[in-house]
Structure 1
Amino acid sequence: MSSDGGPWRLYVVLYGETEWPTFRWDRPGPVPTPKERRAVLAALGYEPVPGAVWSWSEDIRDVDDDGSPVLLIADVTVREVVEA
């Protein structure tokens, strides 16, 4: 999940794939709640693995400019939901 001050985007990284499941909240804030994130993951067919917690980091667009906009990034390990 990420935002650069605009809308929040949640995406499931699928290694080796060119297209990933994604969702966009059309709001810059507040940060989507854990409940909202779980609901979106479920709608995309995924869930956090048991015991997984969200971790947060930040990046900037231009590493040579400390005034560059900050990109907030959150991640959690997920698994595909398999219907029994």
Structure 2
Amino acid sequence: MRTLTAQMSNNGGAWRLYVVLYGVPDWPTVRWARTGPVPTVAERRRALAALGYEVAPGAVWSWTEDHRDPDDDSTPVVLIAAVRVRGRNGDAA
């Protein structure tokens, strides 16, 4: 089963979820108007479905943090969540 990566990020503003499609200029994206709380797993599932994707079987969300300036750990943190997804028809759409 071929899968893609979906990511959700927040750099201090609104949350956004997107499916990473290399070589494509505009990735499928959903934005939440709020800055908090973090979108629930159910909200993320609905957002992915609206984009035509679903979490791949057995995949779980993982979280990491980065900095706006990777060379300066005093800059604000950017939270990034990622999960493997597939097209709703069972492949990598």
- Answer whether TM exceeds 0.5 for this pair: yes
Specify which structure has the bigger relative contact order, considering alpha-carbon pairs within 8 angstroms and separated by 6 or more residues.
Answer: 2
1:36 matched residue in structure 2: 43
Q: Which runs of 5+ in 1 are unaligned?
A: none
Using the aligned pairs only, state the percent identity.
Answer: 67
Aligned-partner residue type, residue 63 of structure 2: W
Judged with a 3 Å threshold, the aligned counterparts in structure 2 of structure 1 residues 77 and 65 are, in CA distance, closer, same or farther, namely same
Tell me how far apart the structure 2 counterparts of residues 30 and 44 of structure 1 sit (CA, whole Å). Answer: 22
Please state whether the residue corresponding to 1:77 is helix, strand or coil.
Answer: strand
Equivalence for 2:53 = 46
Moved more, 46-55 or 56-65: 56-65
TM-score (norm 1): 0.92
Shift, 1:65, TM fit: 2.5
1:41-80 matched pairs, under 5 angstroms: 41-80=48-87
> TM-score, normalised to structure 2's length?
0.84
Measure the CA separation in 1 of the matches of 2:74 and 2:68. 10
CA distance in 1, matches of 2:31, 2:14: 7
